[in-house]
């Protein structure tokens, strides 16, 4: 595991340098859909990370938001590769923030083996914050151990959420959850990076997070960081989370039941 950890940290560090450099330059933006942006930096960053991983682990799979699923050095492969160790990369989580010069953006990398996330790293080089976790060994922020908040009730909590890009027709539905939680808590934030949302719950800055329709690269690393920090992650019915699924409820554990009760009323 040590060589994998080293590769993860090297990739996060290299990715962070590219993100930071790109943040200071004029941005070249393309649209994947009407509000879903992508910049040259997203792709350059994913390529640089893939290169580091490929060189060290030529037989591992790489799943990245911009390039899809690949076996090192070959063309995209299908489900037959699923049993191989896999790296799951979101080169920039928070691309819209990045494109607007808002410093809430990060590189997110997870390592999956035998169907489980074993390592996760989220690095926001614009705030110099590196979150890391190893399965069974806890989570850290810049090398210091982190844990979730001790808030026990919704009325003392601060939550966060996000909205999927393609969700305009469903927006009134999503806003029902937003409205209910806003009235029952200290408030609901919308930061624009699911990976950062999960890490902020992990270190106790926020107490709970929910979102529809996330992709595995948005949450794979943050999932392990929050779990290792003592958090709970489920779907909207309280079932164990499937990180390849489309519903995510994440919390400090203590307010999880109360969050589920609010969500259930609107499903």
* Min dist. Cβ of residue 261 to ligand IPD (A): 23
* Min dist. Cβ of residue 49 to ligand IPD (A): 14
Q: Which of ligand IPD, Ca ion, none interacts with 214 (beta carbon under 5 to 8 A by kind)?
A: ligand IPD
* Min dist. Cβ of residue 117 to Ca ion (A): 16
For residue 97, the number of C-alpha atoms closer than 13 Å in the C-beta half-sphere is 19
Three-class SS of residue 257? helix
Bridge partners (DSSP) of residue 131 are 122, 141
Residues 6+ apart with CB under 8 A from 243: 117, 216, 219, 220, 223
Q: Which of Ca ion, ligand IPD, none interacts with 230 (beta carbon under 5 to 8 A by kind)?
A: none
Binding mask 214-243 for Ca ion (x = CB under 5 A): ----x-------------------------
DSSP labels, 148-217: -----SGGG-EEEE---TT-TTTHHHHHHHHHHHHHHSSEEE--S-HHHHHHHHHTTS-SEEEEES--HH
End-to-end CA distance of the chain: 41
Q: Does residue 192 bind ligand IPD (CB under 6 A)? A: yes
* Min dist. Cβ of residue 8 to Ca ion (A): 18
* Among the residue ranges 28-36, 76-84, 210-218, 256-264, the one whose residues contact Ca ion (CB under 5 A): 210-218
Q: Does residue 16 bind ligand IPD (CB under 6 A)? A: no
* Min dist. Cβ of residue 80 to ligand IPD (A): 27
Q: Does residue 218 bind ligand IPD (CB under 6 A)? A: yes
Residues 68-127 that bind Ca ion (CB under 5 A): 90, 92-93, 95
d(Cα 159, Cα 265) in Å, to the nearest integer? 18
Q: Which residue's CB is nearer to ligand IPD, number 89 or number 154?
A: 89
Three-class SS of residue 111? strand
Q: Does residue 46 bind Ca ion (CB under 5 A)? A: no
Residues 6+ apart with CB under 8 A from 2: none
Q: Does residue 197 bind Ca ion (CB under 5 A)? A: no
The b/e string for 173-201 (b: 16+ C-beta within 10 A; e otherwise) is ebeebbebbeebbeebbebbbbbbbbbbb
Q: Does residue 65 bind Ca ion (CB under 5 A)? A: yes
Assess contact for 85 and 61: CB atoms under 8 A: yes
Q: Which residue's CB is nearer to ligand IPD, number 4 or number 66?
A: 66
The residues annotated as belonging to the active site are: 65, 90, 92-93, 95, 218
Length of the chain: 267
Q: Does residue 193 bind ligand IPD (CB under 6 A)? A: yes
Contacts with ligand IPD by CB under 6 A lie at 90, 92-96, 162-164, 192-194, 211, 214, 218
């Amino acid at each position: 595991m040590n060589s994998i950890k080293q590769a993860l940290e090297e990739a996060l560090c290299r990715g962070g340098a590219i993100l930071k450099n790109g943040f200071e330059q004029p941005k070249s933006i393309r649209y994947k859909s009407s509000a879903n942006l992508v910049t040259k930096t997203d792709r350059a960053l994913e390529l640089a990370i893939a290169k580091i991983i490929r060189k060290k682990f030529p037989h591992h799979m790489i799943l990245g938001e911009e390039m899809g699923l690949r076996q090192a050095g070959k063309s995209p492969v299908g489900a037959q590769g699923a049993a191989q160790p896999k790296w799951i990369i979101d080169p920039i989580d928070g691309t819209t923030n990045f494109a607007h010069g808002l410093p809430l953006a990060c590189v997110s990398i997870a390592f999956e083996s035998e169907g489980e996330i074993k390592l996760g790293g989220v690095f926001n080089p614009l705030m110099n914050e590196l979150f890391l976790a190893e399965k069974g060994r806890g989570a850290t922020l810049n090398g210091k151990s982190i844990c979730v908040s001790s808030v026990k009730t919704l009325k003392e909590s601060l939550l966060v959420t996000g909205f999927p890009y393609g969700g305009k027709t469903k927006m009134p539905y999503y806003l029902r959850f937003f409205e209910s939680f806003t009235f029952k808590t200290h408030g609901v934030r919308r930061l624009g990076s699911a990976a950062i949302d999960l890490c902020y719950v992990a270190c106790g800055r926020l107490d709970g997070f929910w979102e529809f329709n996330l992709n595995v690269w948005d949450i794979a690393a943050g999932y392990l960081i929050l779990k290792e920090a003592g958090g709970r992650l489920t779907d909207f019915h309280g079932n164990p989370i499937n990180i390849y699924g489309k519903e995510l409820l994440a919390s400090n554990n203590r307010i999880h039941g109360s969050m589920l009760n609010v969500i259930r009323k609107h499903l």
